[in-house]
Amino acid sequence: MKFITPNATQSWSFNNSINGSQFIGSVQINQTGIVLDGGYIKSNQTLDDISKGLSITVWIKPDYSSGISKFTIVSKDKSFELTLNNNQAPEHKATFSIFDGIKWHSIDTAEQIGQDWSHIAAAFNGTNLTLYTNGTLSSTVVIPQQTGVNASTGALENIIPQIALTNSDVVIGATLDSREVDESQSVFSGTIDLVNVFASYLSAEQIRAIYESELPLIQAKSITNQTIQIELPPINLLNSTGINGTINTNSTQFVVVPPLNYTNKMTLAAWISPDYTNAADEMTILSKENSFALSINNVLSPQKTAKISVSDGIKWTELTSKDAVNSPTHVVAVINGTQVYLYLNGTIQSKTEMPDSFVINDGELTTTESSIANSNSSIVIGAYLSTLRNEPQITNPFSGTISDVLVYPRALGQDEIIKHVIS
């Protein structure tokens, strides 16, 4: 059976056309779609006929390495929002919200959205809020009717919620406050394409038909991608020192390798098998003086846990794992600007954000976003090397086995980390 899908009220296909919309900030168009990095698109239409029915379909390819807590896909101020959580709960899930003039009503997808292309569809008909992922129903919720006064009779009656009508623009890739001039929030990071907004409620069959008709176009983008990303390979630190890939330490052996020129975004990874017997209170896996230290607590609390410590040059921020390390374990620390993550065997253990730093500007004390300190110090495997007052001193030596030490010049996602554990 063929299902007839109505024409979209507004539609954006970002191969070469901008549909008369206004580009603001960092926006790039190529055959992959619209690539957003802090920028957004403001439509030249306001959608005046969506009070009783609305459907949105869109393809997204998010970049979760951004430190922003939530990405906006499509929005209309004080009317509706289709968003994607990044590092706020529930993580990596899409949310569809509508505003009835009094309060917001929202629903989340049941599953997480990956970093590859995904089709998201949202629909509202005055009774149900519904979300679909890749053409399949994900979640739905019934919005309760409200009690109000009939303007004609004065009698109390149940009122079906309607989307509030406003003069605000439809925005792709950000949320705008109509009271401010182009003051964007929750900007999208990644790629968006084939955006359709319908002033009606699409059925599950119609949404499935849209997904299936657009899927070949998205699959073709993977082949004809005009945006070429240069993937910086990881540095295998053990191989770069002439060691055969494994250090069997007895608290006296360590390896010094050349310094790295990047610290703001990177991933530290290693396989370890610690020997806690007669070892140091804290055992360093990988470190850079006054910058970072990936280590294992021995007798320090919490005992036998992994720890990542990062410094902004003034103070240290520490993060420990929830689980103990008692057997061969894959340890990963991800540094993404001010965001710091710690993984064991592909499972995220904890995360934190470096607090702002204080600076004096024109005689006034202000705050500024922290960043991990960089220096000319060498990377040390198996210990922490301090050169204070030009007197080198080794502390916190590792006891056990360290292997496959890798440093990536970017922040890896969880899917990539799991692949390393499996391989």
Structural contact between residues 403 and 418, judged by C-beta atoms closer than 8 angstroms: no
Pairing of strands 104-108, 384-386: unpaired
- Euclidean distance between CA atoms 70 and 344, whole angstroms: 25
Residue 126, both tokens:
């005055």
Q: Quickly name the fold that domain 10-221 has.
A: Jelly Rolls (2.60.120)
Provide mean pLDDT across the span 325-348.
92
Low-confidence winner among 73-82, 203-212, 246-255, 367-376 (lowest mean pLDDT): 246-255
- Euclidean distance between CA atoms 36 and 29, whole angstroms: 9
Predicted local distance difference test score (pLDDT) of residue 222: 57
Provide mean pLDDT across the span 153-181.
75
The ranges assigned to domains in the chain are 10-221, 235-422
| Beta strand residue intervals within 298-354, DSSP E | 305-311, 316-324, 329-336, 339-344, 347-353
Low-confidence winner among 58-62, 106-110, 374-378, 382-386 (lowest mean pLDDT): 374-378
- Euclidean distance between CA atoms 412 and 200, whole angstroms: 40
| Beta strand residue intervals within 50-151, DSSP E | 54-62, 70-76, 80-85, 94-99, 104-108, 118-124, 128-133, 136-142, 146-149
Mean of all residue pLDDT scores within the chain:
80
Q: Which of 51-60, 277-286, 376-385 has the highest mean pLDDT?
A: 277-286
Identical topology for domains 10-221 and 235-422? yes
Pairing of strands 265-274, 399-408: antiparallel
Indicate whether 328 pLDDT > 70: yes
As a CATH number, domain 235-422 is: 2.60.120.200
pTM of the model: 0.50
Indicate whether 360 pLDDT > 70: no
